[in-house]
Amino acid sequence: EAGVAQSPRYKIIEKRQSVAFWCNPISGHATLYWYQQILGQGPKLLIQFQNNGVVDDSQLPKDRFSAERLKGVDSTLKIQPAKLEDSAVYLCASSYPLNTEAFFGQGTRLTVV
Amino acid sequence: DAKTTQPNSMESNEEEPVHLPCNHSTISGTDYIHWYRQLPSQGPEYVIHGLTSNVNNRMASLAIAEDRKSSTLILHRATLRDAAVYYCILDDFGNEKLTFGTGTRLTIIP
């Protein structure tokens, strides 16, 4: 079974620039998550999708972050414009509905300079 | 969301059992107890979960207190590859929302 795929693995941008991350979940997984993990902290949930609908985006900074999941499969997370404090690893995860095991990708490490 | 409390760090000798504690005194009756671990430069990976009864799988065992206010993840024979940050998470069944804390950083001593 192929895992959760994320790209790019690394990204360096200047503040105020835009950036997008892509996630391809495991086939058949209806639930998709985006997490932000700042160095030394645990992952923080940004947004949770069930198919292509948003279940929870309460911690997504909506003035600069956006996410979509077209057709209930792949997802993109965008930051526009980026700030220095957005430097973090962005993790995508997926799971079956009502299944308690989530599978994580390796993440995208974003550095904002 | 009910919260969990874990020690910041622990050390264990290689090939010995490891007991990682987690306190969750405000757990509700429908909260499942999950454990995930995160190896260096990797995304978190599922370890085990349970509701009331103790659970065993190929990776570890989960011992849940009778009042469910605490639990212990048991690695029966630690190897260097078990060095990671271990997260104890409560999830209201059906909610599927995994809220991570800061976890316990486990160091294995050769």
Q: What digits encode the pLDDT tens for the residues A7-16?
A: 999 999 999 9
Higher pLDDT, A101 or B13: B13
Q: What is the pLDDT of residue B1?
A: 59
Taking a C-beta distance cutoff of 8 angstroms, is the pair B105, B39 a contact? Answer: no
Q: Which residues contact A105 (CB under 8 A, 6 or more apart)?
A: A3, A4, A5, A6, A23, A91, A92, A93, B43
Average pLDDT over residues B17-24: 97
Average pLDDT over residues A74-78: 97
pLDDT digits (tens, 9 = 90+) for B57-82: 999 999 999 999 999 999 999 999 99
Q: Which residues in B lie closer than 8 A to residue A98 (C-beta atoms)?
A: 93-94, 96
Q: What is the pLDDT of residue A1?
A: 60
Q: Residue A31: which of B41, B85, B96 has the nearest Cβ? A: B96
CB of B8 within 8 Å of any CB in chain A? Answer: no
Q: Which residues in B lie closer than 8 A to residue A4 (C-beta atoms)?
A: 43
Average pLDDT over residues A62-86: 95
